[in-house]
Amino acid sequence: MARELKNSAALFERACHRIPAGVNSNTRARKPHPIYFKRAAGPHVWDVDGNRYIDVTMGNGAILLGHGDPGVQDAVAKALESGLTNGLEWERAAEVADLFLKCVPTMDLVRFTNTGTEAVLHALHLARHATGRARVAKVEGCYHGWSDEMFVSVWADLAKAGSPGHMTPLPGMPGLARELVDAVLVMPFNDIERSTALIERHAGDLAAVILEPVMINMGFIEPARDYLQALRDACTKHGVVLIFDELLTGFNLAPGGAQEVYGVTPDLATYGKALANGYPIAALAGSEDLMRMTEPGKGPAFVGTFNGHVISLAAASAALPVLGTGSVQKTVGARTKRLAEGFGRIAEGLGVPAKILGGGSHFHWYFTDHEVRDYRSAATTNAAAYGAFASSLFDQGVVHLPNPLSHHAISLAHDDGVLDALENAFRVGLEAALVTAAE
């Protein structure tokens, strides 16, 4: 049943006169207009028309403890009372760094910034400085922000992307500097032979290899056995800096992120999202010899008015002790597993070729009978079937992302009652997808 959205429609008409597309991130655009929200609590959000939704976006996986977690909100309220915001170093910054490094003992030092894009740029600058080399290799389908070198071969047109052994770097949007895009080396996820061969071939001018250790911006695609270790070994052999983008895996799959789960330690890693339960913050962490190069006069600058922002650090100071116990990840991981198993049973019963892949709080639906192990296999998902399924979910009060190659998440606040409601919505949505697939 369609939802009443007249207030959102009116706000869209007003916003379009001042804001391109009426939204401040293109991922929030939707047809016929965006939905505007006014309140959130636990697993739910409410729009300006009073409709309540189960949220399975959860700040793109950032809000692991649930919307408005009392501990985080209380810490933020106390920090607000101080009157401090930015441009000065907060008295508790070192305490937050200690909490961070207790969760992630594989890293020696950490510095805080604001967004994942910024953290990745810092990592690339540092890798170039440390190695004296220029080029960067990334995995096809991994998203590391919207900079010229990193928004490359993400949601790539496979007709133009080359073969798995000779991938063509493709700009993710107009306006990128083509010479920077063309210099990026692109390799396939979960292909040890081709990935290590690329590193060997370009070792003389390769500064860094960067990847999501689990491909989550394409849904949820785990690394094959020994893949991460093979990259670690090849980078060590050739003096290449290995960078893990743990924006989505950090503090989510385990307190120590993917490094803890898969037992492979990179030279540098970037973090954000769950670090402050949705408040804007990111971090660069790594080995002491590399991180010390960011100190004044020793290498690349690490500056920013909003770096170490008091409010975001206060949120992190409350979130990290909870995340550090590991109990949140175990609880949420079990709930994600339950959703995947329930969806699988329903899909099999209806004869729909579809599955959920997930871990930690993250999951995504794939409408394909192929094994999903990289971007190209993920791209076999049936976009029309996904569209029918997603549209049905929205009509049933589940807010999600419309892109068939995106990612979703639950939180600690998604209890059994919410999971029951989601499974019921999945059944109706899969029935709609079955009709579309038959047309």
pLDDT, residue 439, reads 63
Task: Give the other-Cβ count within 10 Å of 9's Cβ.
Answer: 17
* Residue 242, H or E segment: strand 241-245
- Retrieve residue 433's tokens: 């997808």
Helices (H), ranges, 46-202: 58-61, 70-81, 93-103, 116-131, 178-183, 192-201
pLDDT, residue 4, reads 86
Distance CA 309, CA 313 (A): 6
Residue range 257-276, pLDDT digits in tens: 999 999 999 999 999 999 99
pLDDT, residue 103, reads 98
Q: Are 108 and 157 in contact (CB under 8 A)?
A: no
In 3D space, the residue among 159, 160, 158, 155 whose CA is nearest the CA of residue 143 turns out to be 155
Res. 438 pLDDT band, cuts 50 70 90: low
Report the percentage of the chain scoring pLDDT > 70: 99
Distance CA 254, CA 269 (A): 15
Q: Point out which residues pair with 399 in neighbouring strands.
A: 55
Amino acid at 95: E
| 417 pLDDT higher than 70 | yes
6-68+327-438 shares its CATH topology with 70-323:
no
Q: Which fold has domain 70-323?
A: Aspartate Aminotransferase; domain 2 (3.40.640)
Task: Give the other-Cβ count within 10 Å of 20's Cβ.
Answer: 10
The HSE-up count of residue 159 (CA atoms within 13 Å, CB side) is 0
| 1 pLDDT higher than 70 | no
Amino acid at 28: R
pLDDT mean over 349-365: 97
Residue range 366-409, pLDDT digits in tens: 999 999 999 999 999 999 999 999 999 999 999 999 999 999 99
Residue range 133-190, pLDDT digits in tens: 999 999 999 999 999 999 999 999 999 999 999 999 999 999 999 999 999 999 999 9
Residue range 102-139, pLDDT digits in tens: 999 999 999 999 999 999 999 999 999 999 999 999 99
- Retrieve residue 139's tokens: 């995995």
Q: What's the CATH number of domain 6-68+327-438, 3.90.1150.10, 3.20.20.80, 3.40.640.10, 3.40.50.10490? A: 3.90.1150.10
Active site residues: 143, 245, 273
CA angle 122, 67, 423 (to 5 degrees): 110
Q: What is the 3-state secondary structure (H, E, C) of 206-250?
A: EEEEEECCCECCCCCECCCCCHHHHHHHHHHHHCCEEEEECCCCE
Distance CA 62, CA 315 (A): 12
Domain ranges for the chain: 6-68+327-438, 70-323
DSSP conformation letters of 179-213: HHHHH-EEE-TT-HHHHHHHHHHTGGGEEEEEE-S
Residue range 22-51, pLDDT digits in tens: 999 988 988 899 999 999 999 999 999 999
The dihedrals phi and psi of 148, each to the nearest 5 degrees, come to -55, -40
Res. 427 pLDDT band, cuts 50 70 90: very high
